[in-house]
Structure 1
Amino acid sequence: MRAPLNRRVYIVGYDIATALGSSLDATWQRAVRGEAGFRRVSRCDTSSRSNVVGELPDWDPAALGYFDRKDLYNWNADYVFLTMALCIRALAHAGLEINAETGPRTACLVGSALNGSDALRIAFENYTSKGPLKVSPYLLPNLCANLPAGKAGMQLGFTGPIFSPQGACASGNYAIALGARMIRDGDCDFVLAGGVETCLIPEIIQGFANMWATIKVDPNDRAFNDPTQASRPFSIDRRGIVLAEGGGILVMAAEERMADLGLTPRAEVLGVGWTSDAHHFTLPNRATIVRAIAQAIDDAELTPGDIEYVNAHGTSTAKGDKVEIESLRDVFGSHLVRIPVSSNKSQIGHTLGAAGAIEAALGIEAMRRELVLPTVNHIPDPEFADMDLVPNQARRHPHTVFLSNAFGFGGTNCCIVFKGV
């Protein structure tokens, strides 16, 4: 194989859809005000006490104007259309046109933890109520994790590699990391990278509840009368994740192609660290998380003291939050007292395979605006008294380097260092 080109890799555009809003602008406006986007589930019936979720507001693929009725009927896994819409909007944000020159040099990597589970549910219902011949011939394509990227390619015309990095809740970060490596080495010039998740169906909601991963909103919980308070990373009364749907796509480009095409750099992908736990299928392993963080900083050719903000994985679970903070203490030592640490999941919930991509986009946008977004719903935990967790309100904080953490079921960890430009 040829030697890598060692090119620098930049983020030139992005778009997201979250429980706060179905676009970057809509999400940002509410995020910077310190709002959270949670409510009791309306998409399906569930008797679970884990019934507070993060639903996409105002999401209607039919209203977008570029899907016909046949497409809307056959492609009934929502992550397919959400991926396509986000790719279109991210390219527009970047100002990158897919044409005969750029299309063959553009890859698309979109991760998802649960893929087309909503399409599978429809197939089961049709099978049991209408018979085997009513199972859609589009079922298997709807379940294939690479199909959202493939459909985006059909819509937009790029013909570089397409695949779906499968890293559970770290999938979005893996997509960014792998895409950056592909550009660095010369496999492609541009990458659409991110993650998309549309998982709010009764079986998934109940499955998370039965494994005690999601918060159970009892009458004595502060979220019972105000569901927006359900996700509270690092708070003393944190009780589990808030399951959410959403997506994020980032457009990455090789340094020399930006000038050719008049693209604007928004951040540089500076370092990547990835490890696996070999420990437990849900419980995190401090030692290997420490390695992933340290590797990302080392790959960026920085020291821990150079990091100016941490976008935490921060899921709002008792064990997960504790281990992440302990890991940060191990890596940053005395530097940590001056480094703000916050969790976007306090506002948008846990979007599983989409989380890393959404949080990267929000982190970059905040860095460009010289802000850090808050950890909302925060009630201090004495165990984290030494930490600056950016409680409840966004804060002015000029910075040029931040770390974004993502950890997933199965013990998969991927951390990325971004630099401002």
Structure 2
Amino acid sequence: MKPPQNRRVFVVGYDAATCLGSTFEATWQRAVRGEAGFRKITRCETTSRSNVVGEIPDWHPEDLPFIDKRDCRNWNADYVLLTMVVCKRALDHAGLTIDERTGPRTACLVGSALNGTDAYRIAMDNYLTQGPTKVSPYLLPNLCANLPSGKAGMLLGFTGPIFSPQGACASGNHAIGIGARMIRDGECDFVLAGGVETCLTPEIVQGFANMWATIKVGPNDRAFNDPSQASRPFSVDRRGIVLGEGGGILVLAAEEAVAALGLTPRAEVLGVGWTSDAHHFTLPNQQTIVRAIVQAIEDAQIEPTDIGYVNAHGTSTQKGDAVEIESLREVFGSPLGAIPVSSNKSQIGHTLGAAAAIEAALAIEGMQQGIVLPTVNHIPDPAFADVDLVPNAARRHRYTTFLSNAFGFGGTNCCIVFKEI
């Protein structure tokens, strides 16, 4: 094997779609205003009390010029079409043209936790109500985790490696970390890295509810009359995650390619740390989370005190939020009190495999603008009184380096350090 080239890796563009907006610009504007994008589910019918979710507004792929009605009918796993859209817009944001020179040197790594469950539901309904011949021949491709990247390649023309890092709710960070390593080692010059998730079906909603992972909104909950208050990471009355759909893609590029093509570096991928828990399929393990954070900081060749902001995993569960804060205390010690820590999931919900990529894009934008996004819906928990959780309103704050945390079911952890250019 060839020795690694040890190239620096920059983020040159990004895009996202969330329940705050179907574009990154719309998402960012509402996020800065401290809004949350939750409502009672309209994608399907469910009797579950876990019926407050984050749906992408104004999502009409059939109106896009590069997607026709046949595509919409055949590719009925929405994560396929959403990947195509977000990848295209991310390339546009980067100003990167895919041609005979850049195409073969461009990879696409898009993670997803639940891979086309919406298409499977349609196929099963057709099977039961209309018979086996009505199962779409496109069902299996819709379920293949690499197909969203493949369809994006067919649209955009890149021919580098494509695959789907499967790290559950840490998939987006795994994609960024693997993509950065590939560029560092010289395997490619550009990577579209991130995650996309369209998981709002009755079975998935009910499955999360039955494992007591999602909030059940009853008459006595403050979200009953105001669904926007359902996700409340680190709040004293946090009661579970809010499922959300969404997608986020970062365009990574090698330093030499940035210079050669006149691209604009927006951040550097400085360090990656990844571990597994060997502990429990849903409950986090502080020891291995700490190790992932420490590895990311050591890989970045900086000190913990150099971190100016922590973009927390912050899912709004009692146990998960507490373990993450304890892990940060162990890594940073008393200086943690001077480091803002906030959770974007308070505004966009938990987008599972897409979460880390969306959150990285938001934090990079914030770093460029000198803004830290808030943890909204926050009622202080005395157990976290020593931590600056940026409650309820965005804040002006200059930071040049931040830590992005992502932890997933099965006990998988991936943390990344980004640095301003």
1:384 and 2:384 correspond:
yes
Q: Which amino acid aligns with 1:377?
A: N
Q: Distance in 2 between matches of 1:222 and 1:389?
A: 20
- Mapping for residues 29-48 of structure 1, pairs under 5 Å: 29-48=29-48
Identity score, percent: 79
Q: Secondary structure at the match of 1:244?
A: coil
- Mapping for residues 51-62 of structure 1, pairs under 5 Å: 51-62=51-62
CA deviations over 1:270-298 (Å, ceiling 9, x no partner): 00000000000000000000000000000
Q: Distance in 2 between matches of 1:47 and 1:403?
A: 39
User: What TM-score do you get using the length of structure 2 for normalisation?
Assistant: 1.00
Q: Distance in 2 between matches of 1:336 and 1:190?
A: 35
CA deviations over 1:293-312 (Å, ceiling 9, x no partner): 00000000011111110000
Q: Secondary structure at the match of 2:25?
A: helix
1:333 and 2:323 correspond:
no
Counterpart in the other structure of 1:403? 403
How many pairs align? 421
1:317 and 2:349 correspond:
no
User: What TM-score do you get using the length of structure 1 for normalisation?
Assistant: 1.00
- Mapping for residues 346-385 of structure 1, pairs under 5 Å: 346-385=346-385
Residue 413 of structure 1, CA deviation: 0.1
Q: Secondary structure at the match of 1:415?
A: strand
Q: Distance in 2 between matches of 1:16 and 1:87?
A: 9
Q: Distance in 2 between matches of 1:3 and 1:66?
A: 40
Counterpart in the other structure of 2:84? 84
What stretches of structure 1 of length at least 5 have no aligned partner? none
Q: Distance in 2 between matches of 1:49 and 1:378?
A: 22
Q: Which amino acid aligns with 1:241?
A: I
Residue 66 of structure 1, CA deviation: 0.8
Residue 335 of structure 1, CA deviation: 1.3
Q: Distance in 2 between matches of 1:171 and 1:399?
A: 25
Residue 43 of structure 1, CA deviation: 1.0
Counterpart in the other structure of 1:8? 8
Q: Distance in 2 between matches of 1:260 and 1:271?
A: 24
Residue 65 of structure 1, CA deviation: 1.4
Q: Distance in 2 between matches of 1:82 and 1:173?
A: 18
Q: Distance in 2 between matches of 1:364 and 1:101?
A: 28
Counterpart in the other structure of 1:22? 22
Residue 72 of structure 1, CA deviation: 1.2
Q: Which amino acid aligns with 1:330?
A: E
Counterpart in the other structure of 1:156? 156
Q: Distance in 1 between matches of 2:126 and 2:353?
A: 27
Counterpart in the other structure of 1:110? 110
- Mapping for residues 195-214 of structure 1, pairs under 5 Å: 195-214=195-214
Q: Which amino acid aligns with 1:173?
A: N
Q: Distance in 1 between matches of 2:39 and 2:371?
A: 27
Q: Secondary structure at the match of 1:56?
A: coil
CA deviations over 1:32-59 (Å, ceiling 9, x no partner): 0000000000111100000000000000
Q: Which amino acid aligns with 2:391?
A: P
Q: Secondary structure at the match of 2:187?
A: coil
Counterpart in the other structure of 2:394? 394
- Mapping for residues 251-262 of structure 1, pairs under 5 Å: 251-262=251-262
Q: Which amino acid aligns with 2:286?
A: R
Q: Distance in 2 between matches of 1:45 and 1:91?
A: 36
Counterpart in the other structure of 1:137? 137
Q: Secondary structure at the match of 1:122?
A: helix
Q: Structure 1 residues 25-34 or 68-77, which shifts more?
A: 68-77
Q: Distance in 2 between matches of 1:257 and 1:66?
A: 28
1:125 and 2:109 correspond:
no
Q: Which amino acid aligns with 1:160?
A: G
Counterpart in the other structure of 2:96? 96
Residue 71 of structure 1, CA deviation: 1.2
CA deviations over 1:69-91 (Å, ceiling 9, x no partner): 21111110000000000010000
Counterpart in the other structure of 1:276? 276
RMSD value, Cα: 0.4
Q: Secondary structure at the match of 1:82?
A: helix
CA deviations over 1:74-113 (Å, ceiling 9, x no partner): 1100000000000100000000000000000000000000
CA deviations over 1:387-411 (Å, ceiling 9, x no partner): 0000000000001000000000000
Q: Which amino acid aligns with 1:293?
A: I
Q: Which amino acid aligns with 2:229?
A: Q
Q: Distance in 2 between matches of 1:400 and 1:355?
A: 22
1:190 and 2:190 correspond:
yes
Q: Which amino acid aligns with 1:369?
A: Q
CA deviations over 1:362-398 (Å, ceiling 9, x no partner): 0000000001000000000000000000000000000
Q: Secondary structure at the match of 2:274?
A: strand
Residue 202 of structure 1, CA deviation: 0.3
Q: Distance in 1 between matches of 2:71 and 2:94?
A: 27
Q: Distance in 2 between matches of 1:353 and 1:200?
A: 13
Counterpart in the other structure of 1:226? 226
Q: Distance in 1 between matches of 2:295 and 2:318?
A: 26
Q: Distance in 1 between matches of 2:132 and 2:337?
A: 61
Residue 67 of structure 1, CA deviation: 1.1
Q: Distance in 2 between matches of 1:70 and 1:53?
A: 29
Q: Structure 1 residues 67-76 or 378-387, which shifts more?
A: 67-76
